[in-house]
Structure 1
Amino acid sequence: MSDAVAALRGVPGGARHVTIHATNFIGGDATIGTQVGRDNIGNATGRRPVARGEVATERIALIERVFVEPTRFANIRRILTTQSLLLLRAPRGWGRTTAALRALDECCSARIYTLEPDVELRSPNIDFSPDTGYLMEWFGPDQAGRLHRFHLDQLSAALRDQGCRMVVLLDAATELAPDLGEFLVDGDAPADVTEVVRSHVRYHLNRDPTDILDHPELRRLIDRYTKEWPAARTLAQLGKELADTSAEGGDISEVIRRHHAAIKTELRRWFDEQLSSEARAFTIALAVFNGMPVYMVSDAARMLARVIAGAEEPDRTPAWPVFGSRNSELVDAARARTRRSTEETVYGEIPVDIVEFTDANLAPEILALVWREYHSAHELVREWLYALGCSPDLRVGARAGVAAGLLSIFEFDHARTKLIEPWARSGSRYGRAAAMAALHFPFLYSDLAPLVSRMLATWLQRDQPLALRVTAARALGSEIGQAMPDTAVRRLRRAARSNRVSLRVAVSFSMAQLFWSDGLADRILMELLRWTESTAKPQLRDTGLRCVLDLCRYRSVPTEQSVYDWPVTLCLTGANRAAIVTLFSRLLRNPDHPPDTYAEIRAWVADAEEDPAMREPLARLLSDLGDALQDADIFPYYLREWATEPRGPRRAAQEILAIIESPGRSGSKQLELKG
């Protein structure tokens, strides 16, 4: 659920897989010069010029002044120095044209020409002028598919004979024959956006612009551009506007607002005009499942595309070509990319392909765009999300729930009645998880928190359906309850007195979640001491005792003493350790819980069989627990029993027993915990 919330907030988990893209500005226009380079594949009368024009010297001079090297530029320069032909493959917006012109200017003593985009590089009869650089700014995938090593060897030799250099630019998705690797450079990280903007501001102001770039709103804008692929003129225009405004003593906030507005306008134009219906469904699905496996996004996208097609043409069953749009085409259209990762399954980790936006901000913005601009899509998207929320895959349900939560910010009561409460009332653990996920956005990231809090209080009332009460109790153990711990504990205490076992189980699990939250462990332990007193109501006492075991089962703790994680009972110190000893002694005195409690302790001894470092702390805990029970013989008895079991923890039980029975056993020591 936390990963889902982070993804839809535009915050990838741990900021782990977002590649930064930037671009350099190319100023000036190409001017038509002397025709150079002719395609002589036909007869003399069929010859046509292949040069679009000479690159103006002013343009080259400007690039020299403002150019910021991308990561691979040194490699580009080195290869172009040693060989005459280079294929540069990089995404649009990477700054490939600028980098190519800069490299050609460094390697060629004469002029640089751009070529017509339909030039066939397979032709053996292209005329070249000596010591000239050539740039093909776009080479399509069809043209690239017809290239073979033989053609490039011929072209390279012809260029070398004349002392020429040529750079051919390819899109990132263009596929080439494997034997062309000698000529190919793939663009890695592009130039740093901050440095590109700095370079342009410095060019126009003729001074260092550090004071301008430190503006906090500008930093956020630059961070946004860092994750996107803006057109080259966008960063150049930003630099010029910042310089002009600063020179005139104006407020650069207006410049920043214009650029943010332009981003939203460009997003609408892209979504409306550049995406096919299938690509639009894929993009919306990716907004919900950003950073998830390709198969998950594709399944959800196909499901949404069918819903949309059915609404647009209700009397016609849509036909879906089995080999229609390629995944790579849909990913590129959605401004996304795939990467190799792993997925945890019941049988271990497996490799999977992950798909994610190149800019994590796109995920929330696309859903917000759909909701703001396309009212006819509201019902379709809600129905689609509801079906996803009922999926038996909890990851799918959590993602659908978080997406519904984001949309609820625009119309909370509608989302509540159409999605959130139906999920919560379903009685299904999958629907409950979706409802809990849906509450995170309005509670944590909007001004709707008081409303959500009151709604959860209503759900917990005795006259509400049990499924609704269980959902509310579980939600109070999540980040919602962690944000208001006093209110959450008070409401959970009231629910813990219920006669409904399923509600008490939910309360116990939520209390365990709160225990593991930052800064709440001592508060929860003190509360459990209160719940489990002999004078407490039986239902409240039962819930508290259940929770004591849940604390241990929920997770374990890494320590400095061992490479293994240890039960939390061994890692508490001071008042918290005294509290856990008291709570376990109450568990063992209660007639309903000793079997489960001894089974848990036996599991610790089994862990100590594999981890000798755990044996002494465990012996001290069992010794203190025996003192609390006023029965020093109880654990020695069980340790002997466990040691004699077939494949029992013989060595651990014997060593722990020896420590307990030693005459000078020491008191508890404080452990150093990792993290």
Structure 2
Amino acid sequence: MTASAAAAARAEGGPPGAAPPKQPPPGQPSPAHAAPGQPSPGQAAPNQASGQPVSDEDALSHGDLEPETEGAQEARAAQRELVAHAPAFFLGDDARFGGSAVGGSQHGVSGGQVGGDVYMGGRTEIHHHGTPGAAPDASGEVPRPYVEELAAVYAEGPAFAAALERLREERVLVLSGAHATGRNAAALMLVHRLGVPAVHALSPETPPAALSGHLTRPAGYVLRDLPLSRNRPLRDTHLFAARDQLVKTGGHLVVTVENSPHLPGVTPYPWSPPPAEDVVRALLDRHRPGEADALLALGPVLDFLAGAGRHPAEAAAFAQALAEYDGTAQALARLADFGQAAVEKQCRDWLGDPETGLRDKAFLLALAVFDQAPYVLAAELADKLFVHFERLQHPERPPVIPVFGPAAEDRLTLARAGGEVRQEQTDWGPVPQFMAAFHDERTPRVLLTEVWTSHPSARPALVEWLGQLARDGRPLVRTRAAAAAALLAAADLPSTMALLVDRWATARAVGPRVTAANTLTLAQLLGAPVVLRLLTQWCNDGQWGRRWTAIRALGLLAPLRPDLAGPALDALASRARADASNQAERDNLTESAALLLSAGQRRGEVLAEFVRLLYRDTPAVRGLALAAFARACDNAGEGALVGWYAETGMYQPDTARDMATLWRTALGDHIHTRAALQALQTWVHVATRRTDAATALELLLPALIVTADDRKRLDHELRTMRAEDGGPRPPLAERLLDVLRPAPAAH
């Protein structure tokens, strides 16, 4: 089965006039060599007293080196790289940074479940809905061939008919169910069965209050995995407005949600998945008509169907393997091997078989790190790993890599993997690449865990190789090194910390430290033990690099796990109370705290925490909150705070009050006034392109005026500001000046 992969659009620029970052932008290689006579980042620096080499880590620990720092936008760039390049199973569909789950991304179906890639007929099809860079509230039509292909193999299940009848009568249906139960595929099929002329997919970030405004055509609409919370419920009044609009247009709407308590007045329809046998039979009827009964009677098939809790996607993958059954003993063995036990045995066999050469084993491990990535990366970096293996096993002779080796097809066959040309998203647009992936998506995790825990003699080579990847100039390579290290940490945290993460965290160069932060972030997502406690301790560690790494990791982690935003902010505040020792560390604290405000739909709760710090903490923590708030506001990219506030936050009274409090305090604080005014200009520039942002500003500005000085400050900024291109003051600024003018006195 071809595993699904999440891809994220990466397009965000810094504010006009921002200094260029010292690190290359995402996707650009870093300089290969240091200046003549200077050590490259990470190389040993000479000890001036003894002349003996001193590692960056040792020198940094003793204060002999000043670590490299980043440009102002590098934290957000690192955040985008992590989401764009980490393997899909780390982040799932919940990696939201303000916009949709994967903005401008793929949506597909695997058997009875909507997922990432579309697995149909033995090949993977990538469908891009919408326009790259489109607004988060954009809707896109689901391609008709895609819907029809799903309809041809879809198993309805026992809950489908009643759900269809309810949708026909009420025009709006809220479908609730657990993860991986196929509710999203059901949503597509429900509206399709009604014979609608087209099916439109709405963004999950569509505010419930604005839902009816998107239902303008006589079509079927699906809003999949709508995120709900206490501050963002889906109310019956929202559905009443949507139903009125759908009656006018002749449309239908299905909203899918996880089982949620945030549905006041709404009675959702509980979704249950179709039986695994129905899913398998439906796919067999399409690919092997007339043979379903005989195939379902096979022993391995009966064993598979007897397993409890088979998800539709798993059943569809098994059906695909069953459709390829040719009656041979080998084919029957493949069916019997389907599952986790088979994956574990295969990985043990690969690594333990003396007949499998070191170069083949190196390729298998490299492919595990670069699964669902360009094949050329796995092949190139596998040879580097092979060199380390050769030096480890035969230290008496120099390693020799054959210039030419097995064909890609042969190597992938050995690895039980496949490859195809797909579009890879780059900073310059989509580029065709031959992508490689294991047939079973569990293989990478099992293989890396097996080599780390069962073959400790290979560790020195793996450590050196992953260290090289951590310093690579390509963001994808660095991120996959972090993902591999996170898997190893989940299996054996103490060894991984000692051999990999701590070395990277204490490096002078920025790249390894970012990789260390990514590793700890992903390890926490995997559930590795005590990572959060470790990050909290490292925030006040005596070593600068560990503090930097922990601070950055907390900033990266909170948007992926919004429930950790509070503990993360507390840990950052604890470091601020300790009085950060240098400007680089203070900047890192500010950047990481600003990232907390990109935590999806829970940003209102984070804003409330920021307000709490203004009144109940030390001046240093107050300064951190204001600096981070101004930094977060000074962002016009996708998922920025201004867009979220215009779409969602301004409609929540508590959030609107907290936003006004933070703006008013930052503007009135002499240390942060300039940064806040620059951020305000950013909001005005965004508002010239978005009517909802303009409305939000018109409502926000009066709340920022308490004293005459407040009015004068805002009036002067709006009168003197220029357009983004340096031209005259934008017309919106004139409208906002009218908002600021005091009402005439009554006579």
Q: Is TM-score (shorter-chain normalized) higher than 0.5?
A: yes
Alignment equivalent of 2:490, drawn from 402, 406, 409: 409
Q: 1:6 to 1:622 in 2, by over 3 A?
A: same
Q: Distance in 1 between matches of 2:666 and 2:517?
A: 31
Is 1:591 aligned to residue 685 of structure 2? no
Q: How does 1:130-149 map to 2 (within 5 A)?
A: none
| CA positional deviation for 1:465 | 0.6
| CA positional deviation for 1:328 | 4.1
| CA positional deviation for 1:231 | 6.5
Contact 2:368/2:444 (8 A) holds in 1: yes
Contact 1:557/1:568 (8 A) holds in 2: no
Residue 547 of structure 2 aligns with an amino acid whose one-letter code is: R
Q: Distance in 1 between matches of 2:439 and 2:685?
A: 47
| CA positional deviation for 1:575 | 1.5
Contact 2:646/2:692 (8 A) holds in 1: no
Q: How does 1:641-652 map to 2 (within 5 A)?
A: 641-642=720-721, 646-652=726-732
Residue 732 of structure 2 aligns with an amino acid whose one-letter code is: A
1:299-338 Cα offsets, whole Å, 9 max, x none, are: 3212112212333333333343434333444344331313
Residue 313 of structure 1 aligns with an amino acid whose one-letter code is: H
Number of the residue aligned with 2:421: 339
Contact 2:419/2:434 (8 A) holds in 1: no
| CA positional deviation for 1:380 | 1.0
Number of the residue aligned with 1:526: 608
Stretches of structure 2 that go unaligned for 5 or more consecutive residues are: 1-81, 94-101, 108-114, 124-148, 153-282
Secondary structure in structure 1 of the residue aligned to 2:497: helix
Secondary structure in structure 1 of the residue aligned to 2:396: coil
Contact 1:460/1:473 (8 A) holds in 2: yes
Q: Distance in 2 between matches of 1:430 and 1:227?
A: 42
Q: 1:196 to 1:483 in 2, by over 3 A?
A: farther
Q: Distance in 1 between matches of 2:502 and 2:319?
A: 39
Q: Distance in 2 between matches of 1:352 and 1:516?
A: 31
Residue 413 of structure 1 aligns with an amino acid whose one-letter code is: P
Q: Distance in 2 between matches of 1:220 and 1:235?
A: 24
Q: Distance in 2 between matches of 1:344 and 1:2?
A: 13
Contact 1:476/1:482 (8 A) holds in 2: no
Higher RCO by CA contacts (8 Å cutoff, separation 6 or greater)? 2
Q: How does 1:536-551 map to 2 (within 5 A)?
A: 536-551=617-632
Contact 1:582/1:628 (8 A) holds in 2: no
| CA positional deviation for 1:17 | 3.4
Q: Distance in 2 between matches of 1:3 and 1:196?
A: 43
Matched residue count: 477
Q: Distance in 2 between matches of 1:368 and 1:192?
A: 38
Residue 673 of structure 2 aligns with an amino acid whose one-letter code is: P
Alignment equivalent of 1:503, drawn from 579, 585, 596: 585
Residue 199 of structure 1 aligns with an amino acid whose one-letter code is: D
Contact 1:390/1:397 (8 A) holds in 2: yes
Secondary structure in structure 2 of the residue aligned to 1:532: helix
| CA positional deviation for 1:419 | 0.6
Q: How does 1:73-472 map to 2 (within 5 A)?
A: 199-200=293-294, 202-203=296-297, 212=305, 215-216=308-309, 222=315, 225=318, 232=326, 260-269=340-349, 272=353, 276-334=357-415, 335-345=417-427, 347-440=428-521, 442-446=523-527, 448-449=528-529, 451-462=530-541, 464-472=542-550
Contact 1:404/1:415 (8 A) holds in 2: yes
1:612-632 Cα offsets, whole Å, 9 max, x none, are: 564343233223323477633
Number of the residue aligned with 1:478: 556
1:264-308 Cα offsets, whole Å, 9 max, x none, are: 334444564885543332221121122223343233212112212
Q: Distance in 1 between matches of 2:90 and 2:290?
A: 27
Contact 1:344/1:350 (8 A) holds in 2: yes
Is 1:653 aligned to residue 733 of structure 2? yes
Number of the residue aligned with 1:631: 710
Q: Distance in 2 between matches of 1:384 and 1:239?
A: 33
When the two chains are superposed, the root-mean-square deviation of aligned CA atoms in Å is: 4.4
Alignment equivalent of 2:596, drawn from 507, 510, 514: 514
| CA positional deviation for 1:543 | 0.7
Residue 608 of structure 1 aligns with an amino acid whose one-letter code is: A
Q: Distance in 1 between matches of 2:730 and 2:311?
A: 65
Contact 1:7/1:363 (8 A) holds in 2: no
Secondary structure in structure 2 of the residue aligned to 1:314: coil
Secondary structure in structure 1 of the residue aligned to 2:425: strand
Q: 1:434 to 1:663 in 2, by over 3 A?
A: same
Contact 1:292/1:356 (8 A) holds in 2: yes
Is 1:568 aligned to residue 645 of structure 2? yes
Q: Distance in 2 between matches of 1:18 and 1:375?
A: 38
TM-score, reference length from structure 2: 0.55
Q: Distance in 1 between matches of 2:320 and 2:298?
A: 25
Q: Distance in 2 between matches of 1:369 and 1:10?
A: 22
Residue 264 of structure 1 aligns with an amino acid whose one-letter code is: E
| Identical-residue share of aligned pairs (%) | 20
Q: Distance in 2 between matches of 1:477 and 1:313?
A: 44
1:5-60 Cα offsets, whole Å, 9 max, x none, are: 5446697987433646789xxxxxxxxxxxxxxxxxxxxxxxxxxxxxxxxxxxxx
Alignment equivalent of 1:607, drawn from 686, 689, 698: 686
Q: Distance in 1 between matches of 2:376 and 2:339?
A: 36
Q: Distance in 1 between matches of 2:361 and 2:431?
A: 30
Residue 116 of structure 2 aligns with an amino acid whose one-letter code is: R
Larger helix share, 1 or 2: 1
Q: Considering only CA atoms, is the larger Rg found in Structure 1 or Structure 2?
A: 1
Q: Distance in 2 between matches of 1:239 and 1:298?
A: 27
Q: Distance in 2 between matches of 1:214 and 1:407?
A: 29
| CA positional deviation for 1:486 | 4.2
Is 1:488 aligned to residue 568 of structure 2? yes
Q: Distance in 1 between matches of 2:120 and 2:471?
A: 36
| CA positional deviation for 1:404 | 1.4
Residue 568 of structure 1 aligns with an amino acid whose one-letter code is: Y
Number of the residue aligned with 1:640: 719
Contact 1:5/1:440 (8 A) holds in 2: no
Residue 16 of structure 1 aligns with an amino acid whose one-letter code is: G
Q: 1:649 to 1:404 in 2, by over 3 A?
A: same
Q: Distance in 2 between matches of 1:429 and 1:527?
A: 30
Stretches of structure 1 that go unaligned for 5 or more consecutive residues are: 24-69, 74-188, 241-254, 665-675
